[in-house]
Structure 1
């Protein structure tokens, strides 16, 4: 398959959105998320942590719920692209190790998931209009945290 210059540019711009999202979350820079999403974006973490909402709702959720997470590092790879004019969708592998603490001891766990993103081309460039996290696996999740997550 031979890509046009526009198709290559679209892929690079979209990849920058995926990576930018990960870096914003990993650095707890919730306001930085505004530059990656449309104003009416829907972010659906229901399979992973049981929450879905608007960008504003998700920013509040992340700020309040990630307190027991001492560190996390999203690593993304193997993105599959589907681009149709001014709309696009990707499916991307994400591995997310986290160090968590219940206040007495720290443990490291790993979430494996797929990011499924919908995009729209805007006058300011590509933006994420929908993010869905599809669960793949969880490793070493402490009981106190597993009790708070969807089955």
Structure 2
């Protein structure tokens, strides 16, 4: 049976995962620093063609790539949030279904879909739970534009 603290921790981490997705989809990238990642977080988006690095490098990558001109719409739909608590740290694996609308040549737009897993490490801080490490694992891709290699 889970203790009240363990139940609370699980809900807080689940909320953190959903908050991350909301911030990315609303393109509120700067808020990731204050409310999602630890200062020393390591983020690896390379499985889906993205950056690998610290918080500054990650936010720079997201700010540059998730523009309204290139990606007018996206949704990061998270499910199967699996959390394993260990005191003030935890690990997790989160399923993500990610439809992306992308602007391509001649004013056309193309919808494509990504299936991936986030493999996370979390840490309790004075401001609550934060992601200290996030790695993407590719599951599948569908209908990506011809020039993309994922």
Q: TM-score range by the shorter chain?
A: over 0.9
Aligned structure 1 segments of 4 or more residues deviating by more than 4 angstroms: none
Deviations 1:87-108 (A, max 9, x none): 1011011000011111321111
**Equivalent in the alignment of 1:30:** 29
Which consecutive unaligned segments of at least 5 residues does structure 1 have?
none
**Equivalent in the alignment of 2:78:** 76
Question: Aligned-residue CA RMSD in angstroms?
Answer: 1.1
**Equivalent in the alignment of 2:142:** 139
State the number of aligned residues: 146
Change (3 A) 1:91 1:11: same
Specify the SS of the correspondent of 1:41: strand
Which consecutive unaligned segments of at least 5 residues does structure 2 have?
none
Give the deviation of 1:122 after TM superposition: 1.3
Matches within 5 A, 1:1-150: 2-34=1-33, 35-67=35-67, 68-104=70-106, 105-146=108-149, 149=150
Using the alignment, how far apart are the partners of 1:116 and 1:103 within structure 2? 34
Give the deviation of 1:127 after TM superposition: 1.0
Using the alignment, how far apart are the partners of 2:121 and 2:19 within structure 1? 15
Using the alignment, how far apart are the partners of 2:66 and 2:128 within structure 1? 30
Deviations 1:39-86 (A, max 9, x none): 010110011114201111111111112232121000000111110111
Structure 1 length as normaliser, TM-score? 0.92
